[in-house]
Structure 1
């Protein structure tokens, strides 16, 4: 793997001392939607955006632009910036050929190195696409990016990391399920003529699944499986049970109706949605409430005793205080 270093403008990231001030718990994968050269130039100029690494599509060159101990501005969510390392691929959401095998191999190497350095688990709760990140506020949800998108080879990446999903057979109602294909869509009802769960004009995160994500089986009907997704039952046509399979995981549910969920853990966070009492989701990692800020380019952070579950609410993650949820099924 070829590597080099080109420094991003200091005005495009926050100087920090991770993991001493905040642990790095996530790795976020992007696609540039620009050429490699234009991306590097953009991060060198005063655009208030950056990533830690940029990978060139043609030969897999990895260019480090922000040291991982610093906070790059890549996630569209300040708190997720604080907790993560961001990697840009020279690729385009709508062009499957732009996601080259050479680039994927370099990406796997970089992810493996970061995982070893920061002890980031190699699973889809900790390895996220930009399209898996929630906005910090309810008004920002529809504006969040959709890269790397449906053509990114999550399955190939996880296999390259020797971390494929572990499936446990046919989905059972009330049990966790894992997505075993790169991409699948959800529908409003268990019928071949059914419409997508949401309009095609809305972002993919309102009706799409990707490899390694975990949800709860809510219902079954013939060749169809329903999961709890975005507050409703989304139906997946899966006649051979190759898309959704049973898996390990803890199932959580709200203690009461109208339980708020959040795009960040700060005490100042506003709910991005509420959960009905009957909804169930798979508990992801537990995270501590983080209060952080950038003061003139210097990072300040502290944790409180409040704990949150991270979980897949739709195609994106969300956070919910653990004291507002209860365990339905232990792992």
Structure 2
């Protein structure tokens, strides 16, 4: 209850949900028509999001901090401009409407939880359009739903959040409800605070919340499941997370082909250096159909938007076909996330971010993968293997994936590691407030709705009126654009670049063999200082090649394994420029062209490569072509 506020009877309100007239005016919420008018000549003030949670919680006798935690896991308290998530969820409480879900077809009859807007409308008396478009009403609807689920379980409206565990699990609307509830209680323990996408500051203080009960109806997905051949398989997921085995087929096809992955023995036969983050550009159901097609490609995991549920398709020891770069495929794990790069503002849910982060932490610890942006790549950071492949490389998860938040969940937030003279910068935008212009989310050429972004725009001079830098691989002809799918003039949060200059509020970096400027004002910085190792061309070299894969030298290939050409990409790395080093590796090639693992070969060379942050994508240079320096050092002539 709210101290000092009396709740008299209100004839049209649900049980225990009546407000004093002044509270209704403040909230701007109408349960019986229009809100009561304020004093003459004085408009009713807007209600801050924090107050909306307080009033909604008091009206339905839901613990306020529990309501805040549920909403945080659903949306991080954002309004999302009234546009739906991929599963048709709206507003801070993610009230779902199956009629607008991006599923490519009508909802299944077995999905009543996807129609929460109608249920909330029945409970509150508010029209569905108001629940969708008004964030304050949306919060009220979410509170009404939680209270309803608590009553259906035959439980009293306890002030202790632990007493609401079953209602929270039901709020997820899926069979992964217990995992959703566990994450809600994790948020209660850690607390949270942020400014939302519509400028509202919301705070949930941390609290030593008691462990919730383990209800008898709680069911976990089994971690010991059977593979298609009847062999016992363990789903490779952290405990306490909903995860199931839905295998990708390994099958011979016509014409000597096979699909859709390769059997291997990683990390025993070759190391795993990368985890690649994808979005599906399809619904969860459509994605599962694709990965079940033996003639299609594959990936290791898919994560569902609604609740963070994980399906594993390929064992981590095996090589999935997911990144468009065979060298990266052989040394990576691919994770698909249900969502769209730009479609209609279909946003990534907090439940999916948190589930993904738990999975990545588990995999990184198991395979000793560093948690940084040189090893945790977006699909849009994977390089083309040869010049002809560069323009067709995928661009997901795109500028709307919140890398700063994701790495905070990984326990590796991006922080300054050097001063102004450190020689490097780490891109780090203020995601909710950083809203650069993009086009192409709907009609070609039209501006996308304003939206937080993890990327900065890059220009050839320190001015927003200057032309964008060119990516000759991405667009061999034509000018760069502001299209959301055109990342050739963008740098993204977590990526590190060598500083090439500064002028006022602008910082220059070396990028794709050229100088690129981005806006980096002191009052609202888009990057932080860093220091580390960089490479520069060896003495006497005017320009050196860069590569899209780190393959062995010709002499390393045994008889029967065709030599793979090490073709440089169409870019140049000129004398005097520097690029941040991500990792060092010896050349390696995984030869697998038949379905018989006995025919597979791993070729290891002597040549050493450095992976560098060359543009939006990483690239490789040969160690013999470069010198390694501390980023702030002045090279000797």
Name the TM tier (shorter chain): over 0.9
* Structure 2 residue 273 is the aligned partner of structure 1 residue 25: yes
Tell me, in whole angstroms, the C-alpha distance in 2 between the residues paired with 1:217 and 1:293: 39
Q: 1:40 Cα shift? A: 1.1
**Partner of residue 8 from structure 1, selected from 240, 244, 248:** 248
Q: 2:456 — aligned with what?
A: 184
Q: 1:14 Cα shift? A: 0.4
**Contact 1:187 / 1:194 at 8 angstroms: preserved in 2?**
yes
Q: 1:46 Cα shift? A: 2.4
**Partner of residue 618 from structure 2, selected from 302, 306, 317:** 317
Q: 1:128 — aligned with what?
A: 377
Matches within 5 A, 1:109-124: 109-124=358-373
Matches within 5 A, 1:150-161: 150-161=399-410
Q: 1:231 Cα shift? A: 0.8
Matches within 5 A, 1:42-53: 42-53=290-301
**Partner of residue 288 from structure 2, selected from 27, 40, 46:** 40
Q: 1:147 — aligned with what?
A: 396
Tell me, in whole angstroms, the C-alpha distance in 1 between the residues paired with 2:295 and 2:469: 36
* Structure 2 residue 351 is the aligned partner of structure 1 residue 102: yes
**Partner of residue 223 from structure 1, selected from 486, 505, 510:** 505
**Contact 1:171 / 1:244 at 8 angstroms: preserved in 2?**
no
**Partner of residue 536 from structure 2, selected from 216, 236, 253:** 253
Q: 1:170 Cα shift? A: 5.2
**Partner of residue 326 from structure 2, selected from 78, 86, 90:** 78
Tell me, in whole angstroms, the C-alpha distance in 2 between the residues paired with 1:303 and 1:205: 33
Pair 171,234 (structure 1): closer, same or farther in 2 beyond 3 Å: farther
**Contact 2:325 / 2:384 at 8 angstroms: preserved in 1?**
yes
Tell me, in whole angstroms, the C-alpha distance in 1 between the residues paired with 2:372 and 2:505: 28
Tell me, in whole angstroms, the C-alpha distance in 1 between the residues paired with 2:316 and 2:281: 23
**Contact 2:512 / 2:572 at 8 angstroms: preserved in 1?**
no
Q: Which has the higher contact order (CA 8 A, sep 6+)?
A: 1
Higher helix share: 2
Tell me, in whole angstroms, the C-alpha distance in 2 between the residues paired with 1:16 and 1:168: 38
**Contact 1:13 / 1:48 at 8 angstroms: preserved in 2?**
no
Tell me, in whole angstroms, the C-alpha distance in 2 between the residues paired with 1:264 and 1:286: 12
- How many residue pairs were aligned? 330
* Structure 2 residue 595 is the aligned partner of structure 1 residue 285: no
Tell me, in whole angstroms, the C-alpha distance in 1 between the residues paired with 2:589 and 2:319: 15
Q: 2:17 — aligned with what?
A: none
Over alpha carbons, which structure has the higher Rg? 2
Higher strand share: 1
Tell me, in whole angstroms, the C-alpha distance in 2 between the residues paired with 1:89 and 1:25: 20
TM-score, length-scaled by structure 1: 0.95
Tell me, in whole angstroms, the C-alpha distance in 1 between the residues paired with 2:497 and 2:543: 20
Q: 1:154 Cα shift? A: 0.7
Q: 1:201 Cα shift? A: 6.6
Pair 169,315 (structure 1): closer, same or farther in 2 beyond 3 Å: same
TM-score, length-scaled by structure 2: 0.50
SS in 2 for 1:108: helix
Q: 1:243 — aligned with what?
A: 526
**Partner of residue 262 from structure 1, selected from 547, 570, 575:** 547
Deviates more, 1:17-26 or 1:178-187: 178-187
Pairwise CA RMSD of aligned residues? 1.6
Q: 1:222 Cα shift? A: 1.1
Tell me, in whole angstroms, the C-alpha distance in 1 between the residues paired with 2:289 and 2:493: 32
Deviates more, 1:152-161 or 1:240-249: 240-249
- Moved >6 Å (runs of 4+): none
**Contact 2:324 / 2:393 at 8 angstroms: preserved in 1?**
yes
Q: 2:341 — aligned with what?
A: 93
Q: 1:194 Cα shift? A: 1.6
Q: 2:23 — aligned with what?
A: none
**Contact 1:219 / 1:225 at 8 angstroms: preserved in 2?**
yes
**Contact 2:531 / 2:630 at 8 angstroms: preserved in 1?**
no
Tell me, in whole angstroms, the C-alpha distance in 1 between the residues paired with 2:414 and 2:531: 10
Pair 290,270 (structure 1): closer, same or farther in 2 beyond 3 Å: same
Q: 1:330 Cα shift? A: 5.9
- Per-residue deviation, residues 295-320 of structure 1 (Å, max 9, x unmatched): 31234213212110001110000001
- Per-residue deviation, residues 77-109 of structure 1 (Å, max 9, x unmatched): 001000100000001110443311111111001
Pair 201,177 (structure 1): closer, same or farther in 2 beyond 3 Å: closer
| Structure 2 spans left out of the alignment, 5+ residues | 1-240, 251-258, 430-453, 471-479, 554-564, 633-637
**Contact 1:57 / 1:98 at 8 angstroms: preserved in 2?**
no
